[in-house]
Structure 1
Amino acid sequence: MELNSVKEAKDVDVLVVGAGPTGLALACDLARRGVRTLVVEQSDALFPGSRGKGIQPRTMEVFDDLGVVDAVLASGGRAPVGMIWQDGARQGEHDMFERPAPSEAEPYTEPWLLPQWRTQQILHARLTELGGSVAFGTALTGIRQDAHTVTAGLSTGEIRASYAVAADGGRSTVRRALGIPMTGEDVDPAPMLVADVRIPSLDRLSWHIFPGDGTGHLAVCPLPGTDDFQLIGQFTEGGPDTSPAGIRALVAARSHLAADEVTEVLWASDFRPRAAMADRFREGRVFLAGDAAHIHSPAGGQGLNTSVQDAYNLGWKLGQVLRHGAPEALLDTYEQERLPVAAQILGLSTRIHRGEEQRGAATMQLGLGYRGGPLASGGIGAGGALEAGDRAPDGPLPGGTRLFDLFRGPHFTLLAIGTDAELPPLDGQLVHVHRIDAYEPYGKGLFLVRPDGYVGWAGESAAGLTEWLERVRSC
């Protein structure tokens, strides 16, 4: 009785601190699960800069499931090929990305450029459509917790929640309040500048690269769907001047462009590339996600994408615990699954920054998975094409639909592929069952696809399926 009273007194189920891509993606996922969520953001508006501009293929799949991929496709564009400049002359093209053709199993296969501010606008609009909202101008002033409740002090008052998620960036107030250390290193001793600028005289067909003369390089990338360029400058000597005058002087010094050809400076920031990770991603009833948990070099475009996928991993688990009575131990698997992935991606982005590895299949994040993890069991289907823990591929179905259409939503999906194996009784609201013909990317057998698009359980028969489901629902 006492526990029920505590739960009934809570203002929300989940408090999300930070309205960046991580917090907004998580809030969208929770909203469609009927989880009462409050997003608080200390700024008065969404972040205004382009910073995380590259959406990797795996994140495009996440956006497909969340219902925003059409807006993302309409607002962004393919990454242009790089153009190398020297002494005011074009020296030739350099494509920084592999560009494999889309396939039935992988419909998105190259980065999609979209300024971060626009990504956040799209996610915020989707959250509003789902009935959620963001409390802007609301800062976290303190946080405490007990066995049942998180109590957060806000600049507008106090709120009680079942859980809280820190999505408040690399300088996370929540992480510091919890006393969770972050361990890492400088990836590059040279500080960098990033800015959104307008240069009408510069063509928008190329990603313009000015190698420089030893003082640092300059790169100017057109941002699709806007009149803007993202400018990135490296400084081997001194530090960045982020004022409009300083940025114009930088462009004039390192390119053939005159200072006054930069007609507008819309946003600017300086940073020092770092690779760092929190020692743990959970403290009691509070979770760290996105930059609050791991900080990446921008090389390879991994930070925003890894962050959104943190949210995607955590959202369905919170939904299962809060709305379907799943054991709380399910929430332990968030750190168990995401911390190793974050460590792997941190290493990748650092190597790319230092020129030790090129952008390629790994940066697309389609090969990431949870094989051998706490929720990957049951082995493989016949033929061994797909294992528990792997990303569930897309594929065509009769009538013009696709496997991703079957997966879309907060449910689990059981695929019986090329088999008439008998199934145990299943909760039809929790698990949607589909029998389809053999499909090579899967092989044959039974495949239980989690709400985040990974195979949780696989087998040639249903033995062990019920036991797996008991870990993610009330018994």
Structure 2
Amino acid sequence: MTTVLIVGAGPTGLTLACGLARQGVAVRVIDRARAHPTGSRGKTLNPRSLEVLADLGLAGPLAAAGRTHLPFRKYFEGAFVNETEPFAGALPSAATPYPASLWLPQTRVERLLRERLAGYGVAVEQATALTGLRQDGAGVEARLADGGRIAAEYLVACDGGRSTVRGLLGIPFVGDGDPEPVMVCGDVEVEGLDPGAWHQWFGPRGAFMLCPFPGTRRWQLQSSPERDAGGRVLAPSLEGFRRLAALHTGRTDLRLSSATWLSTWRVNVRVAERFREGRVLLAGDCAHVHPTAGGLGMNTGIQDAWNLAWKLGYVVRGLAAPGLLDTYQEERLPIAVWTLDVTSAGMAAVAEGITVPGTGVEAGRVGDLTGLSLGYRWSRLAGGTHRGGDVAGRSSGRSSGRPSDGSSERAPDGPSDRVDGPARAGDRAPDGPCPGPDGTPSRLFERFAGDRFTLLGLGASARPALAGLPGHVRPVPLDDPDATVRRAYGITGDALVLVRPDNHVALIAPATGRAEVLGYLAALGG
């Protein structure tokens, strides 16, 4: 029997598969498409996603494939207005190694993830469509279009906004959408344009944008759609792209050719009523879809997968009780709702901004483009909120997305209000210097990498607490003479910091708080 079956091989499904496979979990990934996608689709990884993928060993390949600090060159009614760059001047810091987003097409992200997955001996099974499923207390059986069946302990649906799995489960996809396309998209080759910037033309007739991809002649085209005499949206085509370019830019020297991935995009703002039904879980676009403002789509799915991978791995490996899976929805559903809210507001601002010279897509900038402030302070897994009770709880197969312990700290209107301030339980764990035992320079993120909890022992009086820990907890003594790490974690003096496998702070305790740490781990119920 397969331990985990993943349906859908986009960035969400591939990140989840890598996170499970490196734990030794038997995983299969199926996808209905006959071939891997070639269209660019999403085009940015934010700093938090870069941290996630770096943990999987992809920092170097991603940096080689993409670019940072892409200027936005803006025009209004054909005339140049200004040039801006969202991450201008952003530099790595002790706590934040990736201060800026990375620009590269989603296809390259997926290719690198498939290569990483292949290193674990797992290949995506193409042209394998799921048509039915049934489940009981022991597992899930997936029925395939070719008559085959796959038995698994758990199934995770990562099969997009039109999810077959979500439909089979009858989980409502709550929200609304625009029935008409508001944008046409495509990948094209462009001559006559500087590839050193994202070119954006705006005006009363709408928007037309061309974004270059490094190391290739291809650009991503996004535009207000063409309409016929009756006002109906015309299907995207190379000739249509050329007419749109002439209409919006006023230039005759731009040459567009080799159009592929011809697509239309509709505004859709929806979230699944629940992210879990027994042994089936939903992630990525299958669980939530939202406007493009802020470029959060691919990133939100990757971060769903990162949250779920360690939890599902711990459950099937016997390191935690099945109820730990309820915290997936508890933590990620509020983030999804926040994402829908801010991107909807951002999309409305963009629609207004394209009629104002020099504004454009930056009008839709969300509060945090980096993803570094995304945290789970309201979660029962945030030390201090579970009041010493059972962290994992008992598995119901459903969860409310809210704390079940009566805590007054509910999921906020936005993510944690911290990017550079001191971390609290539930927050992303900051990076920092952490020399090895022999004094070799190293970083906290290098120590956190992998599928174990990490217990930081800050100062000499914390050393005894690091002895004799369970095998899934990595002890890391740290002197921190200049207090760089202590400041990042809001600590003075000696202390213990327990960090989850997804690099979020589980709890912060006194140097003498070994019993509190062991109590937290025991409450996971393995």
Give the superposition deviation at 1:247: 2.0
- CA shift in 2, pair 1:139/1:469, >3 Å: same
Of the three residues 453, 458, 472, the one matched with 1:412 is: 453
Matching residue of 2:56: 66
Query: Aligned partners of 1:98 and 1:347: how far apart in 2?
Result: 26
- CA shift in 2, pair 1:76/1:129, >3 Å: same
Of the three residues 265, 269, 280, the one matched with 2:274 is: 280
Unaligned stretches of 5+ residues in structure 2: 351-362, 386-420
Q: 1:185 corresponds to which letter in structure 2?
A: D
Matching residue of 1:3: none
Deviations 1:16-74 (CA, angstroms, capped at 9, x unpaired) = 00000000000001100010000001001222111111100000000110111211111
Tell me, yes or no, if structure 1 residue 390 matches structure 2 residue 437.
no
- CA shift in 2, pair 1:305/1:240, >3 Å: farther
Query: Aligned partners of 1:396 and 1:258: how far apart in 2?
Result: 54
TM normalised by structure 1 equals 0.92
Give the superposition deviation at 1:437: 2.0
Query: Aligned partners of 2:69 and 2:161: how far apart in 1?
Result: 26
Q: 1:67 corresponds to which letter in structure 2?
A: G
Tell me, yes or no, if structure 1 residue 204 matches structure 2 residue 198.
no
SS of the residue 2:312 aligns to: helix
Matching residue of 1:466: 518
Does the CA-based 8 Å contact 2:181-2:265 persist in structure 1? Answer: no
Does the CA-based 8 Å contact 2:33-2:128 persist in structure 1? Answer: yes
Query: Aligned partners of 1:434 and 1:285: how far apart in 2?
Result: 35
Deviations 1:420-465 (CA, angstroms, capped at 9, x unpaired) = 1342764453011111124221224211111100011221122421
Of the three residues 398, 401, 404, the one matched with 2:442 is: 401
Does the CA-based 8 Å contact 2:343-2:364 persist in structure 1? Answer: no
- CA shift in 2, pair 1:322/1:203, >3 Å: same
Give the superposition deviation at 1:84: 1.8
Tell me, yes or no, if structure 1 residue 320 matches structure 2 residue 333.
no
Matching residue of 2:118: 128
Deviations 1:282-339 (CA, angstroms, capped at 9, x unpaired) = 0110000000000021110111101001100111011101113411111111111110
Matching residue of 2:465: 423
Tell me, yes or no, if structure 1 residue 254 matches structure 2 residue 248.
yes
Matching residue of 1:4: none
Does the CA-based 8 Å contact 1:192-1:240 persist in structure 2? Answer: no
- CA shift in 2, pair 1:400/1:319, >3 Å: same
SS of the residue 1:153 aligns to: strand
Query: Aligned partners of 1:463 and 1:353: how far apart in 2?
Result: 49
Of 455-464 and 238-247, deviating more is: 238-247
Query: Aligned partners of 2:241 and 2:446: how far apart in 1?
Result: 46
Does the CA-based 8 Å contact 2:347-2:364 persist in structure 1? Answer: no
The CA RMSD over aligned residues, in Å, is 2.1
Matching residue of 2:488: 441
Give the superposition deviation at 1:163: 0.3
Q: 1:57 corresponds to which letter in structure 2?
A: P
Q: How many residues align?
A: 459
Of 398-407 and 187-196, deviating more is: 187-196
Of the three residues 452, 455, 469, the one matched with 2:505 is: 455
Does the CA-based 8 Å contact 1:240-1:270 persist in structure 2? Answer: no
Q: 2:196 corresponds to which letter in structure 1?
A: L
- CA shift in 2, pair 1:220/1:153, >3 Å: same
Query: Aligned partners of 2:442 and 2:239: how far apart in 1?
Result: 53
Query: Aligned partners of 1:426 and 1:411: how far apart in 2?
Result: 15
Query: Which structure 2 residues correspond to residues 290-301 of structure 1 after superposition, within 5 A?
Result: 290-301=284-295
Does the CA-based 8 Å contact 1:97-1:359 persist in structure 2? Answer: no
Tell me, yes or no, if structure 1 residue 182 matches structure 2 residue 173.
yes
Matching residue of 1:193: 184
Query: Which structure 2 residues correspond to residues 344-355 of structure 1 after superposition, within 5 A?
Result: 344-355=338-349
Deviations 1:240-282 (CA, angstroms, capped at 9, x unpaired) = 4222222222222222344971021121210112221000000
Of 278-287 and 392-401, deviating more is: 392-401
Query: Aligned partners of 1:424 and 1:124: how far apart in 2?
Result: 37
Q: 1:414 corresponds to which letter in structure 2?
A: L
Q: 2:433 corresponds to which letter in structure 1?
A: P
Q: 1:165 corresponds to which letter in structure 2?
A: V
- CA shift in 2, pair 1:296/1:87, >3 Å: closer
Matching residue of 1:31: 21
Matching residue of 2:373: 367
Give the superposition deviation at 1:396: 1.6
SS of the residue 2:430 aligns to: coil
Q: 2:423 corresponds to which letter in structure 1?
A: L
SS of the residue 1:326 aligns to: coil
Unaligned stretches of 5+ residues in structure 1: 1-10
Query: Aligned partners of 1:247 and 1:344: how far apart in 2?
Result: 34
Does the CA-based 8 Å contact 1:248-1:259 persist in structure 2? Answer: no
SS of the residue 1:131 aligns to: coil
Matching residue of 2:358: none
TM normalised by structure 2 equals 0.83
- CA shift in 2, pair 1:420/1:30, >3 Å: same
- CA shift in 2, pair 1:204/1:18, >3 Å: same
Deviations 1:152-178 (CA, angstroms, capped at 9, x unpaired) = 001240010000000000000000010
Of the three residues 103, 113, 134, the one matched with 1:144 is: 134
